Each structure stands twice: as structure tokens, then as C-alpha cells.
């Protein structure tokens, strides 16, 4: 027995011959939050449906805490809490009624149901909504009910498909804190379009494009790729690029519009102080210096559009 | 687990006015028939002089009410069964059940039992209503029990068929219409073969199998027919839902 809570092995899903998801493999351990990133139609939701047993994979297998989803669906499903993209809410019921049904269906023992419902409501900030019909709740509160439903049985793996859609900024902050909290003792998989969100809540990131995994690794790797060794300097009297290169540790300098200059420096050096000193001595009129971050969006675009870039030389 | 799904269905049915309205309207109609039956009994029996013409009050009123009930459920069941799966499909709530630790068979059985439990309230009420005749007459309880079992089996068969049609579409109304047409055809199949009662197709008719129950006879052949009918459509429903999982 290994300690993986989720194991996906060569997951493939065909829709009429077209591969919606092809050969996706990954593992997740206890205490990890995995972020699923990808453009529309990349196969995020399809992968999640296969992980939760809502869709049979054409090929490959899913194991939840070592239990095979195909062979033992009931046992495997008991360990999962799932919130699909479209919230599966029975709108004619009240919040309490709905959560009680969810708890019952997920094998919460009869004596604990009341407590489980209370805890789930408290964690999702639904305490004062108990007797309201779900139909009459706002979009954000309905989303919270959806999340409450997914965590009510305290599952080993929580899978949330775009959990922060339709929430206001404060609610988003609460939900992110909740995801972190759940993720500290369980495993969480979330999919999202919001890139900074991944950086805030996830330890692991997977970028999926056209059904294939194009990036799978720790968030730090992605962050490093993003931050790089670059500085953005703004000066009133900018020197030429050659002059800037004389400062120790700087490998490249590039003059930009509006008195800006971007420099790349060698790894494990921090030439910021040297640049400031040089600026004072040479009267460059420096008024701003900051690390130059490639936005996460750029990294995302780079990764998802890698394929055409690779195939270009062959075509030429 | 089956019970939990059934409880959920019952809750949903009573959460909307639909369930209450259908229950009350049907009970009002049956009550009217019961009252008319009792009144007619005196009118008819006071004219019947010879002993051979006389029938018991249970049979006279019972046949009146149960005959009408078996016809009325033809309209009521499609209205109640139409939403069972199609509504969940439309509002995309099926993943809630699919990702819970329950099998498809349990989901289908739960939904079926939920509806049958709701309709059995009706059967119980009718039985109770007829039993009140016992206050001033000596009634034949066996007749009421046989009719109740027959009505329950027929209602359960209707529900199984309705559940299957509900699993085939996203539109509850389409499910209701299809169910009604199919049930109507099955009910009156034997009328089409009135000249040839031994025809195999005629023996598929639901009414024909209800007839022995309405005479107060519990026949295992009829019970087997209803049982097979229910099992067939429930199996088809499970297969239909499984196709969702396989084909997406």
C-alpha cells in the first residue's frame, strides 16, 4: 500500500473517435491541493467525471486510496466528495433537508447526521440559511451549498469543478481558506480558469490542453518559471544597454519604451543594490525597481501553445 | 441505501404542490364514487327481488370504486412518474446520485419504491374508506384485500413503465405523454382482440390481469405477470442510466 489518495493511470476518454482526454496519469498524496488548469474544452471536467465515477474511461483506471473505481465503485465513491460544474441542487428543498439527504446518501451514520450537517454549514458559512429554500438563495450561496454537500461526509478526496465561479471577492477568500483547510488533512482537486487562484491555494498544478497533460508539477516550479531572474527598472535618464551591462551580474539589458529597462541577471545573484549604486553615481534618475514577473497567463499561454511552436521548424 | 433514495423522492414529491394536489383530487373523486356506490346500492337492491340478483355491498361498492381507481391511475401515474429522472437530467442533478456510494440499481429501485410508496397512500386510503362500510354492514375484507393488492401491483407496473420513459428524455412532459400512450395501449390491448380472447397479445393487457383481482381472486399467474412487467422495465431503466455513464 502506498500513500496515494488518488491515482489516475493512463486515463483516456473517446467521444466518437475523438480523444477528449488522452493518457492522463497523475498521483496525489494526502495533504495536497491539486489545481487543474486548462482552456475551455481541454478535458478538465471530463477528467473529473472519470475520477468520480460519473463517466467510464475508455481506457485506463482510477484508484482512490488504493480502491479501484471500476471494480469497487461503491467503496471508492464513499471516499470522494464531488461538486460538478453544474451544481446538483434540489431546488425545491431547504438547505437543511438537502444536506441531510446528502449526508444520508454518503453513509454518514444516523446518529451523526445532525452534527455533520451543522459542521458543513458552519464551514461554508451557511448557518443562518438553514430553513431557506435553495431556489431562493443567491448564486453565491447556492455554490456554498454545493461545496457543503461535497465535504459533508469528511471525504478523503474532495473534487471541486470551478468552485469559486459566481462568488463575490469576500466569499472567494473564504472558500479559498476552506479549500486550504480541507487540503491540509485531505486531498483536494480543483479546476479553475483563474490563474492567481491556483497560486494561492494549490501545491501542485496540472495544465491540461486538448486532452493532454502539458505540465504537471509543484507550484514552485511554475512560480520560478514565472518570476525568472529579471528586473524592471524605470529611470528618468536611462543609460544605453551597453552601459547597464557593466554592472556586475547582469547578463542582458533591453531598453523599453517610456524610460524603462529590463535586465536579466545570473542565477543566485542579486544585482539590485549594484544597480542602485550605479544609478546614483551616474545620475540615471532611478525612481522604480522591481522584479519583472511574466504573468501566470503568459506561462499558461506558453505551455498550452507549445505544440505549434515545436512543429514549426519541421514545417519550414 | 435504497430506502434513502426512496425517502428523498418522497420528500421531493411532498415539497411541491403537485403531490398534494393529485392526492387530494383523486381522493375527492374516489370519495364521490364511494358515496354514489352506497346510494345506488339501495336503489338497485330494493328493485332486486330474487336472491340470485342480489350482490353483497362490498362487491357492489368495491367494484365501483376499484374499477374507477384503476382507470384514474392511468392519468395520475404519468404525471407523477414523469419527473423522476428526466427532471434530474434537465437540472443536472444526476451526478449527485451517481457520485454517492450507491449503485445504479439502488438508485432506480429507490426511485421506484419512492413513487410506489406515495401511490400506496392512495391504495390504503381507498381500503380504509371501504372498510368504514363495516360500521353498519358485515363486509367481505378478503375482497378488499385482493382488490388492494391488485391495484397496488397495477400502480407499481405503471410506475416502472413511467420510470423507464422518464429515463429516456430530458423533458418531463414528453415522458408523461409517452407513458400515457404506452399505458393506454397496454390497458386496452384486450379490447382490440375482443373477438379472439385466446390471442397472446391480448393476454399482455394489464386490464385482463387486474380482472381476477377485481373479482376477489389472487392468482399467482397474474402476480407473476405484474412482477415480470416491473422487473423488465426497471432493468431497462438501469441499462439506460448505465449507458449515460458509458457513453457520456
**Nearest by CB to B101, which of A90, A106, A149?**
A106
**Nearest by CB to B248, which of A15, A53, A101?**
A15
With an 8 Å Cβ cutoff, are B15 and A82 in contact?
A: no
Look up the ipTM and state it.
Answer: 0.85
Q: How confident is the model at residue A296 (pLDDT cuts 50, 70, 90)?
A: low
Residue B244 has pLDDT above 50, yes or no: yes
Reported as type and span, the H/E element at residue B202 is none
Query: Running DSSP on this structure, what letter comes out for residue A284?
Result: -
Average pLDDT over residues A12-26: 86
Residue A166 has pLDDT above 90, yes or no: no
Nearest CA in chain B to A152: B100
Q: Give the CA diameter of chain B.
A: 70
Q: How confident is the model at residue B203 (pLDDT cuts 50, 70, 90)?
A: confident
Q: How far is A44 from chain B (nearest CA, A)?
A: 15
Q: Are A133 and A93 in contact (CB under 8 A)?
A: yes
* Per-residue buried b or exposed e for B35-62, using 16+ beta carbons within 10 Å of the residue's own CB: eebeeebeeeeeeeeeeeeeeebbbbbb
**Nearest by CB to B99, which of A13, A54, A101?**
A54
Q: Are strands A204-209 and A157-161 parallel, antiparallel or unpaired?
A: unpaired
CB contacts, 8 Å: B97 with chain A: 105
Indicate the range of A8-17, A95-104, B157-166 predicted with least confidence: A8-17
Block residue for cell numbers 456510494: B101
Residue A1 has pLDDT above 70, yes or no: no
Cα distance between residue A167 and residue A82, in whole Å: 18
Residue A271 in any domain: the answer is: yes
Of the candidates B66, B213, B8, B222, the one whose C-alpha atom is nearest the C-alpha of residue A106 is B8
Block residue for cell numbers 473564504: A174
Block residue for cell numbers 459566481: A166
Reported as type and span, the H/E element at residue B146 is helix B141-168
Residue A28 in any domain: the answer is: no
**Nearest by CB to B100, which of A75, A77, A93?**
A77
Instruction: Report the share of chain B in percent with pLDDT over 70.
Output: 99
With an 8 Å Cβ cutoff, are B93 and A80 in contact?
A: no
Q: How far is B25 from chain A (nearest CA, A)?
A: 22
Residues 138-157 of chain A with CB under 8 A from chain B are: 149
**Nearest by CB to B12, which of A49, A55, A90?**
A90
Block residue for cell numbers 357492489: B60
Q: How far is A201 from chain B (nearest CA, A)?
A: 25
Cα distance between residue B126 and residue B120, in whole Å: 10
Residue B247 has pLDDT above 80, yes or no: no
Nearest CA in chain A to B94: A88
Cα distance between residue A185 and residue B15, in whole Å: 37
Nearest CA in chain A to B102: A74
Q: Give the CA diameter of chain A.
A: 77
Cα distance between residue A52 and residue A159, in whole Å: 8
Q: How far is B96 from chain A (nearest CA, A)?
A: 6
What is the domain-level CATH number for residue A274?
3.30.70.100
Instruction: Report the share of chain A in percent with pLDDT over 70.
Output: 90
Residue A245 in any domain: the answer is: yes
- Which residues, 6+ apart, have CB-to-CB distance to B206 below 8 Å? B154, B157, B183, B186, B187, B189, B229
- Which residues, 6+ apart, have CB-to-CB distance to A315 below 8 Å? none
Residue A225 has a pLDDT of: 65
CB contacts, 8 Å: A97 with chain B: 11, 15
With an 8 Å Cβ cutoff, are B15 and A93 in contact?
A: yes
- pTM to 2 decimal places: 0.84
Average pLDDT over residues A97-102: 93
Give residue-wise pLDDT tens across range B26-46: 999 999 999 998 888 888 888
Q: Does A19 touch chain B (CB under 8 A)?
A: no
Q: Are B82 and B170 in contact (CB under 8 A)?
A: no
Residue A267 in any domain: the answer is: yes
With an 8 Å Cβ cutoff, are A52 and B95 in contact?
A: yes
With an 8 Å Cβ cutoff, are B7 and A104 in contact?
A: yes
With an 8 Å Cβ cutoff, are A93 and B7 in contact?
A: no
Domain count, chain A: 1
Q: Are A183 and A33 in contact (CB under 8 A)?
A: yes
Give SS3 for A271: coil
Q: Are A249 and A269 in contact (CB under 8 A)?
A: yes
Q: How confident is the model at residue A308 (pLDDT cuts 50, 70, 90)?
A: very low
With an 8 Å Cβ cutoff, are A105 and B8 in contact?
A: yes
With an 8 Å Cβ cutoff, are B4 and A13 in contact?
A: no
Residue A124 in any domain: the answer is: no
Cα distance between residue B151 and residue B65, in whole Å: 11
- A232 alpha-carbon distance from chain centroid: 28
**Nearest by CB to A77, which of B99, B245, B246?**
B99
Residue A314 has pLDDT above 60, yes or no: no
Q: Does A86 touch chain B (CB under 8 A)?
A: yes
Q: What is the DSSP string of A94-143?
A: BHHHHHHHHHHHTT--GGGHHHHHHHHHHHTT-GGGTTSBGGGS-HHHHH
What φ, ψ does residue A260 adopt, rounded to 5°? -100, 155
Q: Does A230 touch chain B (CB under 8 A)?
A: no
Of the candidates A148, A146, A156, the one whose C-alpha atom is nearest the C-alpha of residue A7 is A156
Give residue-wise pLDDT tens across range B93-116: 999 999 899 999 999 999 999 999
Q: Which domain holds residue A285?
A: 229-291
**Nearest by CB to B245, which of A56, A97, A149?**
A56
Average pLDDT over residues B63-70: 89
Q: How confident is the model at residue A133 (pLDDT cuts 50, 70, 90)?
A: very high
Amino acid at each position: 500500500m502506498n500513500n496515494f489518495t488518488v491515482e489516475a493511470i493512463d486515463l483516456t476518454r473517446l467521444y466518437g473517435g475523438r480523444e477528449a482526454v488522452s493518457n492522463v496519469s497523475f498521483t496525489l498524496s494526502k495533504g495536497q491541493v491539486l489545481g487543474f488548469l486548462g482552456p475551455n474544452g481541454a478535458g478538465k471536467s471530463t477528467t473529473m467525471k472519470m475520477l468520480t465515477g460519473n463517466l467510464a474511461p475508455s481506457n485506463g483506471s482510477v484508484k482512490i486510496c488504493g480502491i479501484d473505481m471500476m471494480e469497487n465503485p461503491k467503496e471508492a465513491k464513499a471516499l470522494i466528495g464531488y461538486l460538478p460544474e453544474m451544481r446538483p441542487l434540489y431546488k425545491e428543498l431547504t438547505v437543511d433537508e438537502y444536506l441531510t439527504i446528502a449526508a444520508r446518501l454518503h453513509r454518514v451514520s444516523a446518529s451523526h447526521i445532525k452534527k455533520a450537517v451543522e459542521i458543513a454549514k458552519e464551514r461554508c458559512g451557511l448557518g443562518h440559511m438553514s430553513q431557506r429554500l435553495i431556489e431562493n438563495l443567491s448564486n453565491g450561496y447556492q455554490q456554498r451549498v454545493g461545496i457543503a454537500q461535497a465535504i459533508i461526509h469528511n471525504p478523503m478526496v474532495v473534487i471541486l469543478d470551478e468552485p469559486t465561479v459566481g462568488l463575490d471577492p469576500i466569499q472567494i477568500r473564504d472558500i479559498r481558506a476552506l479549500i486550504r483547510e480541507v487540503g491540509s488533512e485531505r486531498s483536494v482537486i480543483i479546476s479553475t480558469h483563474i490563474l492567481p487562484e491556483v497560486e494561492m491555494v494549490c501545491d501542485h498544478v496540472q495544465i491540461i490542453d486538448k486532452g493532454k497533460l502539458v505540465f504537471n508539477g509543484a507550484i514552485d516550479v511554475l512560480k520560478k518559471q514565472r518570476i525568472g531572474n529579471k528586473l524592471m527598472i524605470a529611470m528618468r535618464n536611462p543609460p544605453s544597454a551597453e552601459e547597464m551591462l557593466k554592472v556586475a551580474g547582469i547578463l542582458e539589458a533591453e531598453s523599453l519604451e517610456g524610460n524603462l529597462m529590463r535586465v536579466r541577471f545570473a542565477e543566485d545573484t542579486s544585482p539590485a543594490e549594484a544597480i542602485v549604486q550605479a544609478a546614483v553615481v551616474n545620475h540615471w534618475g532611478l525612481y522604480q525597481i522591481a522584479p519583472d514577473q511574466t504573468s501566470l497567463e503568459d506561462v499558461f499561454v506558453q505551455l498550452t501553445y507549445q505544440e505549434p511552436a515545436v512543429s514549426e521548424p519541421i514545417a519550414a | 441505501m435504497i430506502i434513502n433514495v426512496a425517502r428523498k423522492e418522497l420528500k421531493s414529491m411532498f415539497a411541491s404542490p403537485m403531490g398534494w394536489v393529485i392526492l387530494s383530487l383523486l381522493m375527492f373523486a374516489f370519495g364521490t364514487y364511494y358515496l354514489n356506490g352506497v346510494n345506488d346500492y339501495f336503489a338497485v337492491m330494493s328493485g332486486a327481488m330474487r336472491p340470485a340478483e342480489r350482490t353483497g355491498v362490498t362487491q357492489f361498492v368495491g367494484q365501483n370504486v376499484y374499477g374507477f381507481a384503476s382507470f384514474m391511475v392511468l392519468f395520475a401515474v404519468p404525471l407523477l412518474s414523469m419527473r423522476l429522472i428526466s427532471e434530474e437530467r434537465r437540472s443536472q442533478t444526476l451526478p449527485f446520485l451517481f457520485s454517492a456510494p450507491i449503485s445504479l440499481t439502488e438508485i432506480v429501485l429507490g426511485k421506484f419504491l419512492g413513487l410506489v410508496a406515495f401511490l400506496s397512500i392512495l391504495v390504503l386510503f381507498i381500503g380504509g374508506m371501504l372498510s368504514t362500510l363495516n360500521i353498519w354492514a358485515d363486509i367481505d375484507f378478503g375482497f378488499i384485500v385482493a382488490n388492494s393488492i391488485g391495484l397496488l401491483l397495477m400502480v407499481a407496473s405503471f410506475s416502472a413503465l413511467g420510470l423507464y420513459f422518464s429515463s429516456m428524455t430530458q423533458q418531463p412532459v414528453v415522458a408523461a405523454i409517452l407513458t400515457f400512450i404506452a399505458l393506454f395501449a397496454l390497458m386496452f390491448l384486450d379490447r382490440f382482440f375482443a373477438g379472439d380472447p385466446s390471442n397472446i397479445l391480448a393476454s399482455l393487457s394489464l386490464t385482463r390481469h387486474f380482472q381476477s383481482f377485481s373479482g376477489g381472486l389472487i392468482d399467482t399467474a397474474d402476480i407473476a405477470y405484474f412482477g415480470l412487467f416491473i422487473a423488465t422495465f426497471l432493468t431497462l431503466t438501469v441499462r439506460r442510466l448505465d449507458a449515460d455513464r458509458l457513453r457520456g
